[in-house]
Amino acid sequence: MSKLDKDTVLDNFTKAYTAANGKAPDIEAKGGWYSVDGGKNMRLAQLAEETEALVGNGGVGGEHAKEEAKPVAKAAAAKKAAAPKAEKKNAAPKAKKAKKTAGGFSVKDFYKQQIQERNPGAILPR
């Protein structure tokens, strides 16, 4: 997972948005969430993706913003490629945990045994 620099991402987004829409965006930051022109709240990574989309549409004329957007795109692609590997690694330990708990202590079995000891032949509750 790559770390995004807040100032760089916001600066690139502002440049791309200004070039695409002709006016500077009104960005409100609150607790790690960013709202652009009073719209839907989004995280910093989503702002980076929006910048990439604006740059991809030809909205930015400067070379500087395009060069900085490329590492963000590579980082996003690397993150997507790493996601399936992480899912496969996480799937195996979950199966092992299920096997360990199956042979361990069970509250239901303990309660069942306790009822059977007190009243042999009693019907267990649901």
| Residues pairing with 15 in the sheet | none
pLDDT of residue 109: 86
- Do 52 and 17 meet the contact criterion of CB atoms below 8 Å apart? no
pLDDT tens-digit readout, 32-83:
899 988 888 999 899 899 889 988 865 544 444 444 444 544 555 555 555 5
pTM of this prediction?
A: 0.44
Domain boundaries, the chain: 6-89
Tally of CB atoms within 10 A around 79: 13
Quick check: 95 pLDDT over 60? Answer: no
Quick check: 29 pLDDT over 80? Answer: yes
Compute the distance between CA of residue 59 and CA of residue 42 in angstroms, rounded to an integer.
Answer: 21
- Do 11 and 25 meet the contact criterion of CB atoms below 8 Å apart? no
Quick check: 121 pLDDT over 60? Answer: yes
